[in-house]
């Protein structure tokens, strides 16, 4: 296949996957096998796109032209490839995990689950390979819609309410702020194409840029910048694989990825630094980082704590984008990868604990580490990566973000980064500590409780090991990000 066809294929493969899943709904084993195979083929395809892009190619393909001059266009560039690589790889792992989880948890409507899951991945690929702002917006909205049935999977009253918050926040921010900003950009620049160096430089008045950038940052509700973060904790009613892949990786990363892409290819980092338009948003991101960590402290529910941790960590990436210098962008991009592997490990562990031991609150975890040592050790590694300690991959992205803050002359932000690392260390380390070093409250009622189902356990180990590998081998992501900042 030619590279443009590969890009298109990476959208079509998961879309086709939905068809297979639907056709094989009568036979769960075949259905799950279809999911796994689709995920594997997708990763292979994205890898080939990656090779093409590293060879200097920028494959592009126009699908349709809804409005004259504004086509729906796919184009693979380094940042998008980075995101697509992570999402497609983790989809394999998550599918593996989901097989164990969904069966272990006796969930209903599993076919619907796998169908919309594959569909959501297709829209994630659309977001990753969007060739212009308009295409990005379309797939962004399709992603919101396709994940709605996953969030409300349980069908309970609580799920319905959470679904309302989810769709409400994501739609209102994207329609009121983001769409306005897109049309405004079009009115100013006459184009929406992602162009290195940006399209606004020399066209937009200096006074307008901070407002426009603000509309984008808040308009991309999936980036969960406070005060538009409420949907993320609400989405935690979903089954854990959904929380893990979509609300730690695919959906939220689609948000911060959009912000990075808009910063680099619409505004252009030189233009932003020159106008100084992003300074106020750095502090919004910094506030979200600290507040998110503080709220995470107050949560006893494990998934809720992880959700607020995600809110806080996402703003690292937003901050990286707003720093608008090479180190900041590199740090932001790498944090997409590092946080993805770290947080998905944590969610996998949380899900395993829930399925096997039926525990959802942190205070109930005392001594559980002795019966589930692998799970809790994986959680420990994930924590290291999130906090940014060696020997886990997260330390690299934190390093570049800190460098970026120093280069931008914002010493205060370096302090914020340090403080929040400490905070996250405190609120996450509590879990493995409780698991390993506290005695169980009551007589050992963990009888019959052992490790998670085998497919899930493989997934947990895989992502935890990946966190460690990324410490010694972060080059692929680093190289992609340097391509982004050096056109």
Partner 1 sequence: MSEHYVILLVLVPLLASPLCIFSRNARAAWGFAVLACLTSLYLVFQVWAEVMATGPITYHIGDWAPPVGIEYRVDAVNAWVLLIVAVIGSVVAPYARVSVEREVEAGRIPLFYAAFLLCFTGLLGITVTGDVFNVFVFLEVSSLSAYGLIALGQDRRALTSAFRYLIMGSVGATFIVIGIGLMYVMTGSLNMADLAQLLPQVWDTRTIKVAYGFLAVGVFLKLALFPLHLWLPNAYTFAPSAVTAFIAATATKVAVYMLLRFFFTVFGAPFSFDVMRLDMVLLPLALVAIVTMSLVAIFQVNVKRLLAYSSVAQIGYMILGISFASVTGLTAALLHLFNHALMKGALFMCMGCVMYRIGSVHIDAMAGLGKRMPLTMAAFVVAGLSLVGVPLTVGFISKWYLILGALERGWWPVAILVLITSLMALVYVWRVVEVAYFQEFPHDEDTQEAPWALLIPMWALVLANVWFGIDARTTVASAEQAAQTLMGGAP
The site for partner 1 (CB under 8 A) is made up of 64-68, 72, 137-138, 141-142, 145, 152, 155, 160, 167, 171-172, 175-176, 179-180, 183-184, 186-187
- 289 and 167 Cβ atoms separated by less than 8 Å: no
Considering the complex, state which of residue 184 and residue 283 has its C-beta at the smaller distance from partner 1. 184
Considering the complex, state which of residue 144 and residue 201 has its C-beta at the smaller distance from partner 1. 144
Considering the complex, state which of residue 143 and residue 413 has its C-beta at the smaller distance from partner 1. 143
User: Least separation, in Å, of the C-beta of 41 and partner 1?
Assistant: 26
Considering the complex, state which of residue 141 and residue 451 has its C-beta at the smaller distance from partner 1. 141
- 140 and 258 Cβ atoms separated by less than 8 Å: yes
User: Least separation, in Å, of the C-beta of 140 and partner 1?
Assistant: 9
User: Least separation, in Å, of the C-beta of 129 and partner 1?
Assistant: 17
User: Least separation, in Å, of the C-beta of 111 and partner 1?
Assistant: 15
User: Least separation, in Å, of the C-beta of 138 and partner 1?
Assistant: 4
d(C-alpha 232, C-alpha 214), whole Å:
20
- 260 and 320 Cβ atoms separated by less than 8 Å: yes
Residue 159 DSSP class? H
Residue 227 DSSP class? T
Considering the complex, state which of residue 142 and residue 279 has its C-beta at the smaller distance from partner 1. 142
Considering the complex, state which of residue 68 and residue 448 has its C-beta at the smaller distance from partner 1. 68
Considering the complex, state which of residue 171 and residue 438 has its C-beta at the smaller distance from partner 1. 171
Residue 157 DSSP class? H
d(C-alpha 24, C-alpha 29), whole Å:
9
d(C-alpha 113, C-alpha 98), whole Å:
10
State yes or no: cis peptide before 391, omega within 30 of 0. Answer: yes
Q: What is residue 60's three-state secondary structure? A: strand
Name which of 381, 301, 297 is nearest 346 in CA terms.
381
User: Least separation, in Å, of the C-beta of 62 and partner 1?
Assistant: 12
d(C-alpha 410, C-alpha 412), whole Å:
5
User: What Å distances lie between residue 53 and 11, 60, 191, 329, 477, CA to CA?
Assistant: 17, 11, 24, 19, 13
User: Least separation, in Å, of the C-beta of 160 and partner 1?
Assistant: 6
User: Least separation, in Å, of the C-beta of 164 and partner 1?
Assistant: 8
DSSP string, 402-457: HHHHHHTT-HHHHHHHHHHHHHHHHHHHHHHHHHHHSPPSSS---TT--SPPHHHH
Considering the complex, state which of residue 148 and residue 308 has its C-beta at the smaller distance from partner 1. 148
User: Least separation, in Å, of the C-beta of 73 and partner 1?
Assistant: 13
d(C-alpha 438, C-alpha 206), whole Å:
57
Considering the complex, state which of residue 66 and residue 390 has its C-beta at the smaller distance from partner 1. 66
């Amino acid at each position: 296949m030619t590279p443009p066809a590969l890009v298109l294929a990476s959208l079509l493969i998961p879309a086709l996957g939905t068809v297979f899943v639907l056709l094989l709904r009568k036979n769960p084993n075949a259905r799950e096998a279809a999911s796994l195979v689709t995920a594997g083929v997708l990763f292979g395809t994205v890898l080939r796109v990656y090779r093409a892009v590293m060879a200097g190619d920028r494959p592009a393909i126009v699908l349709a032209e809804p409005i004259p001059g504004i086509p729906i266009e796919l184009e693979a560039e380094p940042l998008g490839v980075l995101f697509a690589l992570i999402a497609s790889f983790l989809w394999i792992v998550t599918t593996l995990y989901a097989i164990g989880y969904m069966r272990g948890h006796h969930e209903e409507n599993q076919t619907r689950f796998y169908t919309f899951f594959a569909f959501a991945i297709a829209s994630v690929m659309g977001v990753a390979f969007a060739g212009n702002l308009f295409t990005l917006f379309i797939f962004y909205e399709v992603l919101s819609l396709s994940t709605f049935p996953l969030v409300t999977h349980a069908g309970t009253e609580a799920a319905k309410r959470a679904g309302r918050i989810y769709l409400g926040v994501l739609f209102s921010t994207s329609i009121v702020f983001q769409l306005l900003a897109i049309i405004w950009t079009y009115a100013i620049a006459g184009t929406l194409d992602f162009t290195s160096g940006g399209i606004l430089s020399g066209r937009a008045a200096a006074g307008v840029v901070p407002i426009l950038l603000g509309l984008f940052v808040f308009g991309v509700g999936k980036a969960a910048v406070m005060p538009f973060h409420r949907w993320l904790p609400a989405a935690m009613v979903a089954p854990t694989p959904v929380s893990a892949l979509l609300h730690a990786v695919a959906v939220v990363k689609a948000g911060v990825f959009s912000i990075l892409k808009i910063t680099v290819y619409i505004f252009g980092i030189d233009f932003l630094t020159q106008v100084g338009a992003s300074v106020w948003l750095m502090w919004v991101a910094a506030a979200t980082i600290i507040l998110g960590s503080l709220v995470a402290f107050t949560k006893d529910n494990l998934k809720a704590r992880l959700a607020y941790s995600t809110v806080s960590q996402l703003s690292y990436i937003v901050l990286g984008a707003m720093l608008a210098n090479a180190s900041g962008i590199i740090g932001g991009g790498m944090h997409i990868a590092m946080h993805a592997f770290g947080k998905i490990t944590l969610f996998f562990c949380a899900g395993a604990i829930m399925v096997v031991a039926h525990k959802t609150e942190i205070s109930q975890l005392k001594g559980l580490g002795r019966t589930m040592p692998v799970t809790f050790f994986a959680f420990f590694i994930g924590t290291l990566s999130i906090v940014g300690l060696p020997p886990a991959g997260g330390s690299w992205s934190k390093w570049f973000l800190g460098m970026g803050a120093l280069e931008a002359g914002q010493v205060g932000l370096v302090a914020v980064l340090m403080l929040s690392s400490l905070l996250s260390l405190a609120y996450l380390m509590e879990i493995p500590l409780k698991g390993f070093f506290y005695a169980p409250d009551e007589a050992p009622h963990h009888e019959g409780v052992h490790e998670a189902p085998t497919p899930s356990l493989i997934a947990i180990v895989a992502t935890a090991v990946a966190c460690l590998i990324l410490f010694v081998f972060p080059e692929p992501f680093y190289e992609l990000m340097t391509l982004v900042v050096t056109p």
